[in-house]
Amino acid sequence: MTRHLENVRACLAVALLFPAACEGGAPSSTPAAAPEKPAAEARPATLDAAALAREPDVLYLDVRTPGEFAGGHLEGALNIPVDDTARMAEAIGRKDRPVVLYCAAGGRSGRAMAALTAQGFTRLANGGGVDAAAAKTGRSIVR
């Protein structure tokens, strides 16, 4: 009887570790494909801010507060706070327009970039903080 219980335990362990083996048929020699992430969880592709800055219709989007923007921003930048992605989308217009987003250190611009990517925008770069964005793009900071 104990030998029978040992066999049952072993079979259960195999079933828990390899559930596909219990779904009928022989185990496949091909590994299972990883499940796709839903679009909301997809990480935005990383584009180079310096490369996008060379394009003629690039938009510089400062996602900080108006007070932070007034303290210094990239020349020609548009200020739309991070939580107003509807207004950002309207300002950007077409989904493939090149956009360099920046903030104080890169966190808020990263969040805005993820939200815009989820809406289908494809040519976005996180410039990081205002100083880093200026260095990457060659834009001057207006104070």
**Catalytic residue set:** 103
Half-sphere exposure of 64 (CA within 13 A, CB side): 21
Cross-strand bridge partners of residue 129 = 103
Q: Token pair for residue 24?
A: 């009928």
CA distance 139 to 53: 9
CA distance 99 to 51: 11
CA distance 114 to 81: 14
